[in-house]
Amino acid sequence: MDKLVVINNEKISQQNQSFFSRNYILKRLPEGLTKYFNVELIARKSNLSENHELKLNNIRIASNIFQFIFFLISSFKNENTKYFIISITPYTFISCLVLFICRKKVFLYLISNGQEEWKNLFGSWSVWIYNVMFSIVTSLSIVITISEKINQRNKFHLVDSSFLDEKWFVNFKKPLIDKIRFLYVARINPVKGLNEFLKIFKNIKFDSELSIIGKTSNLKHQRELEKIIKNTKNIKFYGYIDKRQDLIDAFDSHNILILPSYTEGQPSVVDESLARRRPVIIFKDIAHIIKDRKGIFVSNRDIDSLSETARFIIENYKKIQNEIEQNKFILEKEMFKQISEIIKKY
């Protein structure tokens, strides 16, 4: 089996002999490719306790950029090894330059072009830095992407995106629509827009509730969230949910998924909600994620528009569910197969 080194800026913690990732998608990508390749993962070390346990045999986590590059160079022993970079960051940018100089075969996986994420993290003034990295890395690698917004060139390959398996499509539960039951499932950080949504939600005039599933590694964000929801009976914060069945049950016990993000690539939580036949509300900032999927509704970021959209969904719930059933979902195993075929082609 060919060797594939996955290079990721994601932070990973180690607990005894086990490794844990902060991001579920960035955990599943290397795991899914183990069916086709002998996968080694190089990532950054986290000093926090992360949640998603990695099912990989070969993981190396670096405390700094020098150790990161050392791990990368030490993987050169096998001349036929290929390299799979996930997203563009300073760490992966430097890695790509090293791989290019050493004449290694490099593949770049992009969920989005990354500009909006970079802008939200570092400010508008710094986007030119990301654009320079983007231009260089994409010119030195074979790009595999799930985003149609990225400029397509000869070395760009578009694949379908999915992290669903068969268990998401069985044992459907009838939704309770006696009141609006919002569900939020995502990390808790500024670009996800949760705190701003909470300020709107607390002023809604009709019977409703909100459940929050997620985690933040930033103590400031955690305190801001706790301050907003303090003494609020119709908002419940569950923290992180690990098991898939527990997450499926969470979707089934709510009737609308709310995703108030300011920027998104292709959020898997949307497909998870639609797979359970639960409609989704987003705001205009990420309207591009809809594509041809039915059951996603766009609201303005204000109480009147949100209230109108939510009421429309509840009043037309059965019809909307019938439309959601017309969506065509692919399974994650099909996505991994597409990616592996591209890698093996070169």
Assign residue 246 the CATH number of its domain: 3.40.50.2000
Q: Are residues 128 and 187 in the same domain?
A: no
pLDDT given for residue 227 in this prediction: 79
Q: Which two tokens stand for residue 78?
A: 């096998």
pLDDT of 343 over the 70 cut: yes
As a 3-state breakdown, the chain gives helix, strand, coil percent values, each rounded to 5, of 40, 25, 35
pLDDT given for residue 120 in this prediction: 72
Q: Are residues 150 and 188 in the same domain?
A: no
Q: Are residues 117 and 234 in the same domain?
A: no
Report how far residue 161's alpha carbon sits from residue 268's, in angstroms, rounded to the nearest whole number. Answer: 8
Q: Are residues 109 and 176 in the same domain?
A: no
3 DSSP β-pair partners: 38
pLDDT given for residue 217 in this prediction: 65
Q: Are residues 217 and 155 in the same domain?
A: no
What is the DSSP pairing of strand 82-86 with strand 3-15?
parallel
Q: Are residues 213 and 261 in the same domain?
A: yes
Q: Are 119 and 39 in contact (CB under 8 A)?
A: no
Q: Which range of residues forms the domain containing residue 293?
A: 166-324
Q: Are 157 and 143 in contact (CB under 8 A)?
A: yes
Please give the tally of structural domains in the chain: 2
Q: Taking the mean position of all CA atoms in its chain, how far away is CA 264?
A: 8
Confidence of residue 152 (pLDDT cuts 50, 70, 90): low
230 backbone dihedrals φ, ψ, rounded to 5°: -60, 135
pLDDT tens per residue, range 186-244: 888 888 889 889 989 988 888 999 999 987 766 677 777 777 787 788 999 888 887 88
Q: How far apart are the first and last CA of the chain?
A: 15
Q: Are residues 205 and 308 in the same domain?
A: yes
Please give the average per-residue pLDDT across 253-282, as a whole number.
94
Q: What is the CB-side half-sphere exposure of residue 234 using CA atoms within 13 A?
A: 15
